[in-house]
Amino acid sequence: MAPEYSDQLPDSAKHYAELSRRARQARLSRRNFLLALGMQAGLIGVASNLVGCSQATPATPAPATAKAAGGKDVAYDTSANIVYWGEAGERWEWPERGVMPMFNKIWPNIKTEVYAGPIGDMLPKIQIALASKTDKYDVISQDYYFVPMNIKGGQIEKIQPYLDRDPAWRDDLYKDVPEVVLDTYRDKPAKQGGELYGLPPDSNSQLFYYRKDVFEKAGIKAPPKTWDDTIGVAKQLTGGKQYGYIATLRRGQWAAGVFTCLYWSHGGIFFGSEDWANMKGDQWKVNIHDDAAAQALKVAQELIKYAAPGVLNAVDDEANGLMADGTGVMGPNLWGGSVLTQEKTSKFWNVMGTTVSPAGSGPKGKPAPTMGGLGLIMPVGSKNKEAAWAFMKFMVSPDVVKTPSGEEIQFGKAWVENFGQPSRNSLLQKYASVQSYFPALGDSLKVAHRYWPIAENGALMEAVGTHFASFLVGDIKDTQFMDNVERDCNDILKKAGYFS
Amino acid sequence: MAGQTETKPRASDVTADGGRPAASGRIGENHFFRWAFLLPTVLILLVIAIFPMVNSIWNSMHWYTLSQPDQKRFIFLENYGQLLFRDSIFWDSMKTTILYSLGAVGLQFIIGLAIALLMDRRMKGIGLLRTLFMIPILVSPVVSGLTWRFMYEPSGLINWLMGLIHLPPVGWISTPGPALPAVIITDVWQWTPFFVLVLLAGIQSIPREVVEAAALDGLSSGQYLWKILLPLIRPVALVVLLIRMMDTIRIFDAIYILTGGGPAKATLIGSIYTYVLFFKAFDAGVASALSWIIVILVNILGFFLLRFLAQESTQEQKGLAPESSPSA
């Protein structure tokens, strides 16, 4: 009989062979498995609680018990740590950081932790965080076109009750910020009794950017007022390495913004009505087989002939780059911003003109640039709502703010000098010498058209922008564009229950 | 050893495969730690791999948008139906995905094989050259995407070089025609070295006697390539083709950085369309359905390639390889 394998091993090895044998024989009882699972879950629970405790922030008192500063609003001795999540860079993070010392002067015990990230990646992340009803953030800077989604999903706090505590400040805000801008943060328009869910420290709209020196040289006395004239000017200015048309035409929401501007300016309304609060059933059906769409597509098709290489896949970085380096000399509906009018970022900053985007032709024609802008919202999960409100309100301050000791703080100046783009008309006017495009932005906001105030906005814009880009490159014809947009948008709206 | 009870293993504990005992169903009480140590891995796998996969199948059968996650409702296969029968963008993206995959992998194979043949020789500095050749693989796809994007820009390096020979500038990644070839070139630049690496190993594993016999028989270079080399490296080539096909079908990062899927739909491959549906349109249901369609596509492709590979291997084992194959 052959010896067993362990008999052939030295003593020390036998021990390990035995251990190994026992291990191979091992079976797990249900009791031991559950015990192990329970122990690990317990350990994880204890560990996460320890981590959670170490990060806990003191909660501010509920609104009812908050001592009103000057009998009106958040007490100056309010103590809290708040977390603010905003977009990085100029226009958002820089002005906010610029005025933060002033905020701390008024509310010394409210500590603000700022998370800033690139806007392109941040907006979807914000939406995912809000959809999960996060309690990690107290204030978030959100693109206005997501706000209807946040309101419908019950993801953000209604701030109207907070605002109403200080009627004088509220009325000044209503007077100074265009209603069309404030409406983008309401559940329905103010005229229909809508209430605010966000406050806009920032505002934006598409603007007409043009090179004054090139226009002058070409004998063009003023920027064109209609899209038809714009085509003529684009043609006239295109030649050699110079191009007469710059736009942000990347597939998706960028291209959609260009189409909506053209469409609205030719009198299009996309849905059966624009009476958002009272629309029912088939009025929600998208129907763009109309003259406005045909005209808009015709203008786009003409303008694209004079577009610089790069325009068809451009977002604002590329489009601004093409204007800043002199490749392009006219962008009739570029997104507003200071990149083209400041010395550090544009070769032609001092000859860059800005005005309102052109009107469509025909009896319904009007200037209707697509509106932009970001506002501050308070997630429902915030544990520091009083302090969050103090922060939100401060960021939309007027030009001069008083500290508890009566000292006057130049809020507007700090905001604008740090490249902020305020929503208050008074600031846009006062600081026109700091940012030359402010008057054009103020004028544009008076006529700008907002994205549709519905939760499905993003999905609709993707559909419109994808088909519009396909039309521009010649993949589809105008009627196919209209068919595709109607089919895709109505699919989205039908599934969301707008009509059956 | 003191205090240790000597226990001889029983013959029934040792099995024919070298020792692992057959499952007996007995419950042992002394091996709690064995499972306790195993459990974290199982739990992590469940949480980060199995649960998301199962959950995404579930999501793909729901109307589920991030605007109203609470209103999620079961619609069975409607999302799949929408993609397959009503969404023209989906079919365009599938077409682009296949074109991209075939173009990139095809070019990588041809160029990779050519370079591997050139490198299959003894010469001074060949080791250094082979090492240098591998550098693109080490570059992160995001870095590679950004670098190529700068080079492709209207005022970038490539147009500048073209300008030197009086060629007009081209909108490489901003006009639909050249956009797809441009992103394919980027992938070819980055991943051809992988083909070189694997194919070179395959070439160098061909027995010396076979090569010498071919030379003695007076085979031309073409004959050697078609009748000796390619049949012998076919298993290796199929594996590398399979890996890269799967990679290119699910690629995201480099194209997202380079073109964002544009201009228009020129580079809108399936994975980017999934991203758009989820992160731009916030439609988690349709995005999940699309991601599963891509998984199925990759699996079908993998299945056929692996089956082909298995058939080759079986044929060789049975000595049924084609006459042209020297292994027959």
What separation, in Å, do the N-terminal and C-terminal C-alpha atoms of chain B show?
58
Residue A86 has a pLDDT of 94
User: Nearest CA to CA, how far is A274 from chain B (Å)?
Assistant: 21
Mean of pLDDT values over A55-83 = 60
Considering only CB atoms, B154 lies closest to which of A149, A310, A475, namely A310
Non-local (6+) Cβ contacts of B203 within 8 A are: B116, B117, B120, B229, B233
**Statement: residue A242 has pLDDT above 70:** yes
A47-60 burial, b at 16+ Cβ within 10 Å, e below that, comes to eeeeeeeeeebeeb
CA distance B80 to B91: 12
CA dihedral sign of residues A466, A470, A472, A476: negative
pTM assigned to the model: 0.82
Q: Which structure tokens are listed for B215?
A: 């030379």
Convert the pLDDT of each residue in B167-176 to its tens digit. 988 889 988 8
**Most A CBs within 10 Å: which of B47, B278, B282, B290, as the mutation test of the A interface?**
B282
User: Percentage of chain A surpassing pLDDT 70?
Assistant: 86
- Give the ranges where B14-87 is alpha helix by DSSP (H): 32-45, 51-60, 78-81
Range of lowest pLDDT (A11-20, A124-133, A424-433): A11-20
Range A373-381 average pLDDT: 97
Band (pLDDT 50/70/90 cuts) for residue A58 is very low
Residue type, B155: S
pLDDT of residue B214: 87
Q: What are phi and psi of A364, to 5 degrees?
A: -90, 0
pLDDT band at B314 (very low <50, low <70, confident <90, very high): confident
Residue A48 pLDDT grade (very low, low, confident, very high; cuts 50, 70, 90): very low
Distance between B36 CA and the closest CA of chain A, angstroms: 6
Q: Which two tokens stand for residue A47?
A: 């560990």
* Number of residues in chain B: 328
The larger pLDDT score, comparing residue A210 to residue B300, is at A210
Task: Please tell me the predicted confidence (pLDDT) of residue A72.
Answer: 60
Kindly tell me if the per-residue pLDDT of A394 is higher than 60: yes
Average pLDDT over residues B189-212: 92
Q: Which residues pair with A367 in a beta bridge?
A: A359
pLDDT score at B20: 52
Out of B28, B86, B268, name the one closest to residue A27 (CB): B28
Q: Which residues of B touch A472 (CB under 8 A)?
A: 264
Mean pLDDT of A246-264: 96
Write the DSSP string, B284-317. Answer: HHHHHHHHHHHHHHHHHHHHHHHHHHHHHHHHHH
Q: What is the mean pLDDT of residues A317-323?
A: 93
Cis peptide before B263 (omega within 30 of 0): yes
Indicate the length of chain A as a whole number.
500
Instruction: Please count the other Cβ atoms lying within 10 Å of the Cβ belonging to residue A27.
Output: 16
pLDDT of residue A4: 46
One-letter identity of residue A294: A
Per-residue confidence (pLDDT) for residue B59, from 0 to 100: 95
Kindly state the percentage of chain A with pLDDT values over 90: 76
Nearest to A211 by CA among A317, A369, A334, A359: A334
Q: For residue B261, is it left (φ>0), alpha (ψ between -120 and 50) or beta? A: left
pLDDT (tens digit per residue) in B4-48: 444 555 544 544 444 555 454 455 556 788 888 889 999 999 999
Higher pLDDT, A42 or B93: B93
Mean pLDDT of A311-319: 92
B307 touching A, CB under 8 A?
A: no
- A344-369 pLDDT tens trace: 899 999 999 999 999 999 899 999 99
- A15/B4 Cβ within 8 A: yes
Picking from B280, B283, B290 by the largest number of A CB atoms within 10 A of its own CB, the best residue to mutate is B280
Task: Return the higher-pLDDT residue of B29 and A272.
Answer: A272
Contact B171 A315 (CB under 8 A): no
Q: Tens digits of per-residue pLDDT, B281-290?
A: 999 999 999 9
Q: Taking residues A183-192, report their average pLDDT.
A: 94
Contact status, residue A292 vs residue A208, Cβ threshold 8 Å: no
Q: Which residue has the higher pLDDT, B322 or A208?
A: A208
A73 — phi, psi (to 5°)? -145, -155
Interface check for B82 against chain A (CB to CB < 8 A): the answer is yes
Give the separation between CA B215 and CA A301, rounded to whole angstroms. 63
Q: Amino acid letter at B230?
A: L
Report pLDDT for B130. 85
Q: So what's the pLDDT on residue A49?
A: 47
- How close does chain A come to B61, measured CA to CA in Å? 13
| 8 Å CB contact between B107 and B188 | yes
| Chain A CB within 8 Å of residue B19 CB | yes
A459 contacts B282? CB cut-off 8 A: yes
Q: Which pLDDT score, from 0 to 100, does residue B8 have? A: 52
pLDDT digits (tens, 9 = 90+) for B73-96: 999 999 999 999 988 899 999 999
Residue B322: which pLDDT band, with cuts at 50, 70 and 90? very low
- Cβ distance A36 to B32 less than 8 Å, yes or no, reads yes
Using the beta-carbon criterion (under 8 Å), do A310 and B279 form an inter-chain contact?
A: no
Give the pLDDT band (50/70/90) at residue A485. Answer: very high
Q: What is the DSSP string of A187-212?
A: SS-GGGT--BSEE-S--EEEEEEEEH
Which pLDDT score is estimated for B264?
92
Chain A residues lying within 8 Å of B75, measured CB to CB: 495
